[in-house]
C-alpha cells in the first residue's frame, strides 16, 4: 500500500501515539454525555436554589402559584399531579392500541402490509410536537368536544370526573388523548420487537395442544413477553411525562389550585406545560424564574428515573432472548 513508501509511519512510537490520541479523543467525546448530564443537573439544582430555600418543603406540597410581587408563593404539587394524571390517561388510551398494533404486525398482518404499516406508525413519531398541538387546537379538539366530551358531560355529569361546566376541549382529556397518539409509536415499536422475540417453539407448543390463534397470543405470546411489554409501557410513560408543546397548547393553562386534576373536562397543567407557558413572563433572576426551574428539577428527576428503569427492563428482556431479536 502507499504506506510502504513511508516506512517511518510504521515505527512503533508513531503508531501508539496515533492510537493513543484517537482513543482518548473519542473517550473525551463519549464522556461529554456525562458532562452534559452533570451540567443539566447542576444548572437546575442551582437555579432552583432560591425558591427551595424560600419555601422549603412547601414548594413540593404547596398548591398556590402567585407571582405577584410582595405576596409571592409557589407550590408545585398541582402540576406534579397534572403530569401524573395526563401521562396515566395517555397510557390508559395508548397502551392497548399499541399492543394491538404490535400483535397485528407480528402475528396477523399479511406480509405485504407489514412494512407500510410499520412506516406509517413510525411517521407518527416524526411529526413535531407543535404540529400535534396545532392540529389538536383547531381540528381534533372539536371532534372530541362534540362526540365525547359534551355527551358524557350532559348525561354523566353527576360523576365527578365527567363533571364541571360545558367543556370547550382545552382540558385534561384532550391533552391526554393527543399524548396517547404521540406515545403509540414508542410503545408499539418496542412491543413489536418483544413479541417478535418470543421463540416460535412457544407458539408451536401452544398450537399443538389445540389453542386458537388468539389464545396462543393472549395466553402464551403476551404472557411470555410481559416484562418486555412492561418496559415498553414505561418508555412510553417517559415520553408522555416530558412532552411539552402539544400539552401546553391543549391542556388549558390552569394555575395554582385550579390546575389540580379533578375532572377530565376541566383545564389543568403539567410541569412541562407550566414552564413552556409561563417561563418568559418571569424576569431573569427573579424568584418566579427560580420556581419554574424548580418545577423543571422535579420533572428531570421524574423522567430520569422512569427512563432508566424502562431501559434496564427492556435490555434485560431482549438480552435474555439473545439472537432471537429481529
Partner 1 sequence: MNLNSYGLRKFKNRFFFVACAVCVVLAVAPLVSILWEVIVRGAPQLSLNFLTATNAKDGIGPAIQGTLILIGLTSLIGVPIGILSGVYLAEYGNNHFGSTMRIINDALTGVPSIVIGITAYGVIVIGLIGSYSAIAGAIALSFMIIPIIARTTEESLKLVPNNIREASLALGAHKWKTTLRIVLPSAKSAVITGVLLGVARVAGETAPLIMTILGNRYFFQGLNEPMAALPLEIWRDSLQAQQSIIAQGWGAALVLILLVLSINIIVRVVSRGRLRK
Locate cell 358524557: which residue?
A: 152
Q: Tell me how far, at minimum, the Cβ of 165 lies from partner 1, in Å.
A: 22
Q: Tell me how far, at minimum, the Cβ of 163 lies from partner 1, in Å.
A: 27
Residue of 170, 269, 293, 189 whose CA lies nearest to 236: 189
- Measured distance CA(175)–CA(256) in Å, rounded: 18
Q: Under the criterion CB under 8 A, does residue 227 sit at the interface with partner 1? A: no
Residue of 316, 172, 145, 153 whose CA lies nearest to 234: 316
Contacts of 231 (CB under 8 A, 6+ apart): 190, 194, 310, 311, 313, 314, 317
Q: Under the criterion CB under 8 A, does residue 292 sit at the interface with partner 1? A: yes
Q: Tell me how far, at minimum, the Cβ of 197 lies from partner 1, in Å.
A: 17
Binding mask 72-101 for partner 1 (x = CB under 8 A): ------------------------xxxxxx
Beta bridge partners of 74: 65
Distances (CA, A) of 166 to 136, 169, 244, 281: 18, 9, 26, 30
- Measured distance CA(312)–CA(228) in Å, rounded: 10
Q: Which of residues 119-138 bind partner 1 (CB under 8 A)?
A: 119-121, 123-124, 126-135, 137-138
Contacts of 30 (CB under 8 A, 6+ apart): none
> How far out from the chain centre does Cα 223 lie?
24
- Give one DSSP letter per residue of 94-129, joined into a string: HHHHHHHHHHIIIIIS-HHHHHHHHHHHHHHHHS-H
Q: Which of residues 228-247 bind partner 1 (CB under 8 A)?
A: 238, 241-245
Piece of the chain touching partner 1 by CB under 8 A; list 61-69, 104-112, 164-172, 192-200: 104-112
Q: Under the criterion CB under 8 A, does residue 260 sit at the interface with partner 1? A: no
**How many CB atoms sit inside 10 A of residue 263's CB?**
20
Q: Under the criterion CB under 8 A, does residue 70 sit at the interface with partner 1? A: no
Out of 61, 108, 320, 324, name the contact with partner 1 by CB under 8 A.
108
Q: Tell me how far, at minimum, the Cβ of 63 lies from partner 1, in Å.
A: 22
Beta bridge partners of 65: 74
Q: Which of residues 21-50 bind partner 1 (CB under 8 A)?
A: 21-23, 25-27, 29-34, 36-37, 39-40, 43-44, 46-47
Residue among 153 and 303 whose Cβ is closer to partner 1: 303
Residue among 80 and 101 whose Cβ is closer to partner 1: 101
Residue among 88 and 163 whose Cβ is closer to partner 1: 88
Q: Tell me how far, at minimum, the Cβ of 51 lies from partner 1, in Å.
A: 13
- Measured distance CA(157)–CA(151) in Å, rounded: 9
Q: Under the criterion CB under 8 A, does residue 267 sit at the interface with partner 1? A: no
Binding mask 159-198 for partner 1 (x = CB under 8 A): ----------------------x--x---x----------
Q: Under the criterion CB under 8 A, does residue 281 sit at the interface with partner 1? A: no
The dihedral through the CA atoms of 151, 157, 162, 166 has a sign that is: positive
**How many CB atoms sit inside 10 A of residue 260's CB?**
18
Q: Under the criterion CB under 8 A, does residue 218 sit at the interface with partner 1? A: yes
Q: Tell me how far, at minimum, the Cβ of 134 lies from partner 1, in Å.
A: 5
Residue among 96 and 205 whose Cβ is closer to partner 1: 96
Piece of the chain touching partner 1 by CB under 8 A; list 17-25, 152-160, 164-172, 259-267: 17-25
Q: Under the criterion CB under 8 A, does residue 151 sit at the interface with partner 1? A: no
Amino acid at each position: 500500500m502507499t504506506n510502504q513508501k513511508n516506512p517511518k509511519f510504521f515505527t512503533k512510537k508513531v503508531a501508539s501515539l496515533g492510537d493513543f490520541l484517537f482513543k482518548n479523543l473519542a473517550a473525551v467525546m463519549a464522556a461529554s454525555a456525562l458532562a452534559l448530564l452533570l451540567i443539566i443537573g447542576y444548572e437546575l439544582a442551582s437555579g432552583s436554589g432560591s425558591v427551595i430555600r424560600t419555601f422549603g418543603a412547601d414548594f413540593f406540597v404547596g398548591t398556590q402559584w402567585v407571582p405577584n410581587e410582595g405576596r409571592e408563593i409557589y407550590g408545585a404539587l398541582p402540576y406534579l399531579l397534572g403530569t401524573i394524571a395526563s401521562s396515566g390517561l395517555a397510557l390508559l388510551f395508548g397502551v392497548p392500541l399499541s399492543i394491538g398494533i404490535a400483535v397485528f404486525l407480528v402475528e396477523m398482518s399479511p406480509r405485504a402490509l407489514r412494512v407500510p404499516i410499520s412506516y406509517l406508525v413510525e411517521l407518527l413519531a416524526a411529526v413535531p410536537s407543535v404540529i400535534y398541538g396545532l392540529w389538536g387546537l383547531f381540528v381534533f379538539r372539536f371532534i372530541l368536544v362534540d362526540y365525547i366530551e359534551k355527551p358524557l358531560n350532559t348525561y354523566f355529569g353527576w360523576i365527578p370526573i365527567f363533571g364541571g361546566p360545558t367543556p370547550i376541549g382545552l382540558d385534561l382529556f384532550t391533552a391526554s388523548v393527543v399524548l396517547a397518539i404521540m406515545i403509540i409509536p414508542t410503545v408499539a415499536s418496542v412491543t413489536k420487537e418483544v413479541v417478535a422475540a418470543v421463540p416460535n417453539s412457544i407458539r408451536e407448543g401452544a398450537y399443538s395442544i389445540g389453542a386458537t390463534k388468539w389464545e396462543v397470543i393472549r395466553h402464551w405470546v403476551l404472557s411470555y413477553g410481559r416484562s418486555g411489554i412492561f418496559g415498553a409501557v414505561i418508555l412510553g410513560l417517559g415520553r408522555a411525562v416530558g412532552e411539552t408543546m402539544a400539552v401546553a397548547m391543549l391542556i388549558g393553562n390552569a394555575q395554582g389550585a385550579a390546575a389540580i386534576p379533578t375532572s377530565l373536562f376541566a383545564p389543568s397543567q403539567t410541569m412541562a406545560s407550566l414552564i413552556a407557558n409561563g417561563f418568559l413572563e418571569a424576569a431573569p433572576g427573579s424568584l418566579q424564574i427560580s420556581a419554574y426551574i424548580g418545577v423543571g428539577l422535579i420533572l428531570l428527576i421524574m423522567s430520569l428515573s422512569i427512563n432508566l428503569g424502562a431501559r434496564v427492563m427492556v435490555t434485560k428482556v431482549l438480552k435474555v432472548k439473545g439472537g432471537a431479536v429481529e
